[in-house]
Amino acid sequence: MSKRAFLSLTLLLIAFTTTPAQNIKFYAQVDRIQVYLDEQFTLTLSLEGDVGSVPRPKFPALTNFVVYESGRSQNFSYVNGQVSSSINFNYILMPRQAGKFTIPPVAIELQGNTYHTNPIEITVLAGQSRGEPLRKDQLEGTKQAQDLWIETSIDKKTAYVGEQVTLTLKFYQGVRLFQNPEYTPPSLTGFWTEDLPPQKRYYQNIGNRRYYVQEIKTALFPTTSGKKTIGAAELKCRIEDLETFLGRDPFAFFDKDLSQLFSQGKPKVLRSQPLSLEVLSLPAGQPANFNGAVGKFSLKTELDKTEVEVGQPATLKITISGVGNVRSITTPPLPDLSSFRAYNSSNSENISKANYQLQGTKTFEQILIPKEPGTFTIPPVEFSYFDVAAQEYKTLKSPSYTLTVRSGSALPLASLPTTTNEISAKVKDIHYLKTELGQVGKKSYVIQSPFFLTLQLVPVLALVLLWRKQAQKEKLLSNRTYARYRLAYKNAQKNLELTRQSLVLEPETEFYSNLYKTLSGYLADKLDLDYSNLFTEELMVRLKESTLPTTELNQIKEVLEMCDQARFGGAKLNKNRKLLLLELTENLIKCLERLRWNGKVKATI
């Protein structure tokens, strides 16, 4: 190669590599500028010009839209020695609310320069994309043209406060999904919720198309009267998009970015329509002992003993069974028992969801400790509920029980020492008296040794310990508040172990329910609060009145709110995160046990 040819080639390469990017265009466009609230549209950012490596655009915050990436495509051309390319970044947008909004300019940095797209005005209309209601045949035809959709329904339009309303979500799937969809439950403010497994899965033909259908059922229990709105459910998924990738032009395949073929598919967001429910107040004329139970229940009581001594406990077991919100049933009020000290020992639940109805049994154990001897009659326990089918209040009454209380047995008397000093008859003689003692050596007696003197304190210390133990036992029996305070940590440790077992053996919702009961039950015992009617807000108010540090108060609030979100809001954690939450609660209870409280009970731990 001649020197002139080499110099020409070198200059050509230098000119090619140092030529700045010229005629670069960066602009945005949408497939439509007016959409309904339940629709989604495509935003495309196009970059044209002589460019090489292209970074990701810097997207501004879009608070009025949900944004998902939908891949990108790239085209190259070489004409008359000029290399140019065109890159399209595709995004799927779904509006959050109705109104007129502006998609602000999107920036991209390229070769030291910053380029911006043009702003775009979008009008979002309220309501559905269908302007008028469709007939059944039109609706089936519209659904048949869709690949997938979701819909929600309730089994009744009117219900009483506390009555079960079953919410059903159906997911119709007509195409293959790239991954499991992400389900966001609807907003259920003003309802007590309970999942109703198992999920139904079946195939259904709509028109000439076959769909795979999944059903998710949830039990709703309204807590207040009035017109309630069940929000829209949301499902995020990714579906096949080969048609968009290949296009109608068979040669357009070579202009596409092959990485899209192995991507996670086209994102799609599905939303259901909100539902309305009219909640009626319970009728007037409620019994005095009515605590809000709605459904159909039965009452059973059992006294474990018919004869006890004064100060010895007898257990009255109260079992309520039936169909309804069993979890919300509170302890039935006991009749007047002036001759007894009574306190709640424990509560247990056995929940069933057969036929998608919440039902089961709830057992309350009441400890009765008689104060005096005699024969006493324990009056019947009453439980009232509202029967929806009969449209009336019903009161159940248990049988009465007779309990015989004996006086406590007397303590055995210790054997008394004899007061007479006796001389043994076996003494044979009396030694002579010595007139001269001689040299007296220094002797050491056992009674003068430190060990002997220390040993004399052992019986005294034992008596003090026995007295203190007996005094504490009597205080535990006579002072219910003190007993709850002292036994709170021990009961919490047992409940933590049961919660750890439910991490593996029971449904996921039971773990959060058990963990919530463990922590709130421990705090209720420390503050002498009624656990059956205790809510997180009330508990935090009472805790702020104590002398607990702010750090512990924030940790308590965080754990309780996470449990509430998992039980009622649908938020879930994986197994490792749940184990960390369990350990956090365990360490929190240990830390609280080392602190002093300024509640009604103030004892040194």
- pLDDT single digits (tens) 48-79: 876 667 788 888 888 888 887 777 777 766 55
Q: Please give the model's pTM, rounded to 2 decimal places.
A: 0.50
Using DSSP, state whether 249 is helix, strand or coil: coil
Evaluate if residue 329 carries a pLDDT over 70. Answer: yes
Q: What is the pLDDT of residue 17?
A: 42
Predicted local distance difference test score (pLDDT) of residue 47: 84
The pLDDT of residue 417: 42
Task: Choose which CATH entry (2.60.40, 2.30.30, 1.10.287, 1.20.120) describes domain 290-406.
Answer: 2.60.40
* Better pLDDT: 150 or 511: 150
Whether 13 has a pLDDT exceeding 50, the answer reads no
Q: Can you tell me the mean pLDDT for 365-394?
A: 93
pLDDT at 162 over 90: yes
Give the pLDDT of residue 325. Answer: 94
Confidence tier at 452 by pLDDT (50, 70, 90)? confident
Lowest mean pLDDT among 82-96, 123-137, 425-439, 589-603: 425-439
| pLDDT at 414 exceeding the cut of 50 | no
CB 330 within 8 A of CB 362: no
From 82-96, 129-143, 472-486, 488-502, the region with the lowest mean pLDDT: 129-143
Confidence of residue 101 (pLDDT cuts 50, 70, 90): very high
Where, residue-wise, is CATH 1.20.120 in the chain? 483-593
Cβ-in-10-Å burial (0-12, 13-18, 19+) of 293 comes to buried
- The better pLDDT of the pair 163, 518 is held by 163
Rounded to whole angstroms, the Cα distance separating 445 from 464 reads 29
How confident is the model over 190-218, as pLDDT tens digits?
999 999 988 888 888 888 888 989 999 99
* Euclidean distance between CA atoms 10 and 109, whole angstroms: 30
Counting residues of the chain whose pLDDT is more than 70, the rounded percentage is 75
Look over the chain and give the mean of its residue pLDDT values, rounded to a whole number: 78
Q: Which residue has the higher pLDDT, 539 or 252?
A: 539
Q: How many other C-beta atoms can be found within 10 angstroms of the C-beta atom of residue 38?
A: 19
Q: Are 168 and 154 in contact, with CB atoms under 8 Å apart?
A: yes
Per-residue pLDDT band for 9 (boundaries 50, 70, 90) equals very low
Residue 81: the pLDDT is: 59
By the 8 A CB rule, do 47 and 28 touch? no
Architecture category of domain 136-280 in CATH: Sandwich (2.60)
| CATH architecture, domain defined by 483-593 | Up-down Bundle (1.20)
**Is CATH 2.30.30 correct for 21-125?**
no
User: Which residue ranges does the chain devote to CATH 2.60.40?
Assistant: 21-125, 136-280, 290-406
C-alpha angle 576/171/141, rounded to 5°? 160
Q: What is the arithmetic mean of pLDDT over 173-180? A: 82
The alpha carbon of residue 511 and the mean position of all alpha carbons in its chain are separated, in whole angstroms, by: 8
